[in-house]
Structure 1
Amino acid sequence: MRKFTKLLHGDSAFYEAIVPTDLQESELRKAKNKIRDRLRVRIEAATKTKLGMEKTVAPRFRTQGSWAYRACVQPDHMPPQEMDWDYGVYLPVEAWEETGTPRVAAAAYFELVEALLGELAHEQGWRLGKDKNHCLRVHVAKWAHVDVALYAAPAEQFARVSDREIERVEKRAFDAATASLEQLNEASEISSQDWDDFEGMMVATRKGIWEPSDAEVIAGWFRDQLKIHGDQLQRVWRYVKAWRDHNWQEGGPTSVLLMLAICRHFSKQPGRDDKALAHVAQFIPAAVAGDYYEEGIDSEHNFNRLDATQRLDARNRAILLERALRESLTNVTQPKSAVVIALRGQLGQRIPNREADVETDSPADKVRETPARPVVTPVVKSSYAG
């Protein structure tokens, strides 16, 4: 058996090349905060006058998607690919229709926020996209955008969150009378701890209708998986997303579909990201080839958005990935250079061109890679002197 885990994770390895830099995260976070600060004040001011709500309410905000999961990757083809930050705006709504939708008009909500983001984009030299139905895309740099999705949820759920936030604020030794504007803006962010309490989320669309949202369910489900499997799961998901970005400049399987397939079949391999990646790669062809459901999230929702032609293409490409990883691990007769070439062919040129990091397994490796198992303490019978 061969191993190439040092090419994936370690000094100047693939993982380091695909993770966003501190500067990129800082720039995206600044843009996200500017969006939050503008929308927090302006939406609150418009809740009665433009949205027809009975009283003024303040929206809440939450980072979603890959940044919430800490699974964002550097695009392999820039342009057309861009780094994205998914950001949710949550409106507390007291009045709901019998159909389970908010009485606030989805179209009015969408149009209000689109106008506010348009003003901000003009001021900042950004560009507002018009091609998304379930979110508003703000291009904040040549290499990045922020997708703003608009949600509504029952007001009483926000009240519970607010009560806990007040307690946290008091523990940090400031209150509403002394808090700065920056602190108030930060307090409007919904934490992961609070997120699990939300149910019945609806998302506004450009078409002017409300649709049920499963974003909160997916987020909670993945956090549970991460608690079980640890950081290696996160890294393997990033490797597979990087494979997707390398093979499709546009389109391809969604990040959520890949995440669900990886979590379902993940097998922890201590110190061996190569084996963990090769293991889940066996199941990706089937995952992208047909409908995909996850009982733990929504047994009736199909997470595979690809059409028949795209599914066949994705399956064929996933088979090539699985084959390259398997051959790289098991074919000890091929030159080490061939392993590097095969991996770069599937994952891109960010795989280091280092033959020395392709090594041969040893018996000691198997011992180190075997996870520790709890040992039952033996029963020691009492002994009596004399």
Structure 2
Amino acid sequence: MPDQNDEAKLLIVDDLPENLLALDALLQGQGIALYKAESGEQALELLLRHEFALAILDVQMPGMNGFQLAELMRSTERTKQIPIVFVSAAGHELNYAFKGYESGAVDFMHKPLDSHAVRSKVNVFVALYRNRKRMARQLEALEQSRREQEVLLDELRSTQTELEQAVRMRDDFMSMVSHELKTPLNTLILEVQLRKLQLSKHNLAAFSEDRLQAMVEKDERQIRSLIRLIDDMLDVSRIRTGKLSIRPTYFDLAQLVGKVVESFFQQMAINGCELTFQCSESLPGVWDEFRIEQVLANLLTNAARYGVGKPVEVRAYSVTHGVCLEVRDYGIGINPANLERIFHQFERGDGSENSAGLGLGLFIADQIVKAHGGRIEVQSTEGQGARFCVILPPLDSP
């Protein structure tokens, strides 16, 4: 049984109804749909609505004859490819067959029609039509397959680029982690070796109370540096897996900021930065106290790194849509092209080559603030420093 997509439509045009009925009875078959017209005008209406595999036209019709209809069909893009077979009851002496071939017909048959010949010729054109339709579908399928393959190739190229970037990022990260971990570890190992040397020489004078205090403080700084690096890596892992925990509690943001700023005075002094804090009001609300402290610490560490020798200002105040925690430095500033990427993981700003850190601080801070439903805004001019403003959502009740 022919596929439904291969149904062939035949157009029969004859001004005599009995001739149409005769051809209808002769050509009935599976997969063939017959459309009949008694004039050229009716035929044109059908040609506009249907796609035909073959048109059988009577030559002698009142009004528009078969040759005129054929000329119109050949001059129209939609119908010029339809094969045309002329039929006529006129004698051979009128030379209609020659005129029919001139007008673009593929065959000419004289009445009375030979039923076997008619069926055979129609079957040939129907088979050609079906083969043409199958080939068109196959070409369309091939073209669709080609388009899908191009899309797949583009996706594969994109995936390959992402994988290559991920591998580079991993290698850079491992190299960076190795370097950053070795720095405090090497310092600790060197200190331990020096102490062992002093002990082996029984030089207990090297361990006076003042010197022991200095040793402990130095060890503590190195250990805290290690803990900070490890915590940053753990936070990145939590962020990637969607497991960054936020535990809101009620507290005064102004008091928290004041405490964090106080803890940074010594570090800022070492970097030659004058640290000031301004807040004229209480800012109670519900946030994750530990995480907000982490955000501020990361911003202050960033300010100390890029604002060496310049003032660093911290402010906390109410805004229309919540509260703003602002950190302003007057250091080297940020290139406008880098304003977006500074919040990406493992990104480090220009001028950070000789400073510690994995390039995770701003990324983690940004993710923490987003987890609170807030945002971080940054403004900077190269050579004039940067202003980071953490906007947290409206104050909540306990």
Which category of TM-score, normalised to the shorter sequence, fits these structures?
under 0.3
TM-score normalized by the length of structure 1: 0.20
TM-score normalized by the length of structure 2: 0.20
Give the number of the structure whose residues are more often helix, by fraction. Answer: 2
Give the number of the structure whose residues are more often strand, by fraction. Answer: 2
* Greater RCO (Cα-Cα under 8 Å, separation 6 or more): 1
